[in-house]
Amino acid sequence: MADDARGQLIVLAAPILDDPYYASEVDAIIEFHIAFANRIAAPDRVLVLAGADTADIYADALGPDRVVTAAMEDIWTRDFGIMDPASSVMTRYTAAGQGGGRKGQRDADAVQETHAAFLEGKGIIPVASDLLNDGGNWVFDGAGNAVVSTKFLADNNLTEDEARAALREVTGARHIAFIEADEQGGLEHADGVVSFVGDGVLLVNSYADDPAYEKQLLADLRRGLPGVDIHTIVNAYDGSDIYDSRFGSACGLYTNALVTHHAVYLPQFGIPQDVQALETVRRLTQKQVIPVASQQVCHMGGGVRCMSSQIDLVPSKTSRARD
């Protein structure tokens, strides 16, 4: 991994106030964004992309230097942003993130094109790839190890060996594990199942209620990631309050953490297991572990990692043209 002193730019996207999909959750999303942004620690930086309808709200709370007026068409920047900050790769955002089907793919492309245009306007040039994959389905440590769900194989009509070769070519990753998602259908993202908290140190949800799945999951990870130190972490999943049944819940999933070169921004849910999760992560990483309250948004299917993308604060690479 790069020098731990090197910071990353954490990018958040504000909701559009008149978007009916988020109407009941706008206040909670903005509250979460502001609290999360205030937890970002140097050398990391945060930038909120907001429309004219919310820019002043964020600027008043965070200061104008951490907000730019640039309306994005969705809030889940992890999925449609730069997938891998080390290689600057941006894979094609999949239809599942926008509800599926042909319309979903058209909407996904439009969301991503808006974001790519913004990045390019700021001199951050993505390396475009036609491979279909959401950023939430690429969990990496920056030292050559990554985890992807098998949805990637189906989306791209590839065998595991073909998929591994394709991802190695565009990202430079050396070892890639393919896992079955713990919930089939919908997004099937790996970042609700695993999280790298250091070079070669992987956290995996425990699945006490499904030991067969846990056994296979660990076997697949060990097969794909030789030399990686694998540890389980408490799984306090709570699906009692799900905003959209297509996307499930991220409540109680500590693996949905944002990990930068120097910090782990760990979701917290206001439940007793929070302390256990913090202790586990602090024992296993030398990075600063920063708790981030996520209970106000996790029922929407994400939070700390899902709502943020990360970009290395170094000069961008030359873009490859999108076919």
- Considering Cα of 84, then 305, then 212, then 248, what sign does the dihedral take? negative
Confirm if 232 and 255 have CB atoms less than 8 A apart: no
Average pLDDT over residues 119-124: 94
Q: How many CA atoms lie within 13 A of 37 on its CB side?
A: 24
Q: Structural domain tally of the chain? A: 1
Q: For residue 5, is pLDDT > 90?
A: no
pLDDT for 314: 64
In a domain, 22, yes or no: yes
Is 317 within a domain? no
Map residue 144 onto helix, strand or coil: coil
Report pLDDT digits (tens) over 242-260: 998 888 899 999 999 999 9
**Distance from C-alpha of 278 to C-alpha of 191, rounded to nearest angstrom:** 18
Q: Is 248 a member of any domain?
A: yes
pLDDT at residue 287 greater than cutoff 60: yes
What mean pLDDT comes out for the span 40-49?
A: 97
Residue 322 forms part of a structural domain: no
With DSSP H G I counted as helix, E B as strand and the rest as coil, what are the percentages for the chain, rounded to 5? 35, 20, 45
Name every residue whose Cβ is closer than 8 Å to that of residue 4 and which is 6 or more positions away in sequence: 261, 262, 287
What is the CATH classification number for the domain harbouring 22?
3.75.10.10
> What span, in angstroms and rounded, lies between the C-alpha atoms of 94 and 210?
29
What is the side-by-side order of every strand in the sheet holding 229-233? 194-198, 201-205, 229-233
Question: What is each CA distance from 246 to 27, 83, 93, 211, 249, in whole angstroms?
Answer: 22, 22, 16, 25, 10
Task: Tell me what pLDDT residue 318 has.
Answer: 36
Kindly state whether residue 149 falls inside one of the protein's structural domains: yes
Give the predicted TM-score (pTM) of the model: 0.94
**Does the residue 130 lie in any domain?**
yes
Instruction: Tell me the two tokens of residue 28.
Output: 């909670």
Q: Residue written as tokens 């060990």? A: 222
Average pLDDT, the chain: 94
Residue at 2 is within a domain: no
pLDDT of residue 201: 98
Structural domain including 136 reads 8-312
Let me know how many helices (H) and strands (E) the chain has, helices first.
8, 15
Summarised one tens digit per residue, pLDDT across range 152-197 is 999 999 999 999 999 999 999 999 999 999 988 889 999 999 999 9
Sorting pLDDT into bands at 50, 70 and 90, what band is 6? Answer: confident
Q: Is residue 323 in some structural domain?
A: no
